[in-house]
Structure 1
Amino acid sequence: MIQFKIPGPPVGKQRPRVTRHGTYTPEKTANYERLIRDIYKINRFPKLEGYLSMSVSAYYPIPKRTSKVKKEKMLKGILLPDKKPDVDNVLKCICDALNKIAYDDDKQIISMFITKYYSKDPYVYVRLDEVHGEDMSC
Structure 2
Amino acid sequence: MSIYINEKTGAMQLIVYGEPFAQERPRFSTFSGHVHAYDPKRSRAYKEKICAEAVHLMYKAKELGYQVPFDCPLQFALYIYRSIPKSFSKKKTQLAREHKIYAHTKPDADNYIKCVLDGIAHGKSKILFTDDSRIVSIRAIKLYDDTPRIEAWLKPI
Q: Structure 2-normalised TM-score?
A: 0.78
Question: What root-mean-square deviation, in Å, do the aligned CA atoms of Structure 1 and Structure 2 show?
Answer: 1.3
Is 2:109 the partner of 1:87? yes
- Gaps of at least 5 residues in structure 2 are 1-10, 62-67
Moved over 3 A (4+): none
Paired residues for 1:55-134 under 5 Å: 55-99=77-121, 100-131=126-157
Q: Please, which of 19, 42, 48 is the counterpart of residue 29 of structure 2?
A: 19
Amino acid at match of 1:57: Y
Contact 1:59–1:117 (CA under 8 A) maintained in structure 2: yes
Aligned residues: 131
By relative contact order (CA 8 Å, sep 6+), the higher-ranking structure is 1
| Correspondence for 1:135 | none
Contact 2:74–2:155 (CA under 8 A) maintained in structure 1: yes
| Correspondence for 2:16 | 6
Instruction: Quote the Cα distance in structure 2 between the aligned partners of 1:78 and 1:51.
Output: 32
Shift of 1:119: 0.3
Instruction: Quote the Cα distance in structure 2 between the aligned partners of 1:18 and 1:103.
Output: 28
Contact 1:51–1:109 (CA under 8 A) maintained in structure 2: yes
Select between 115-124 and 67-76 the one with higher mean Cα deviation.
67-76
| Correspondence for 2:4 | none
Instruction: Quote the Cα distance in structure 1 between the aligned partners of 2:115 and 2:52.
Output: 14
Q: SS state of the match for residue 10, structure 1? A: coil
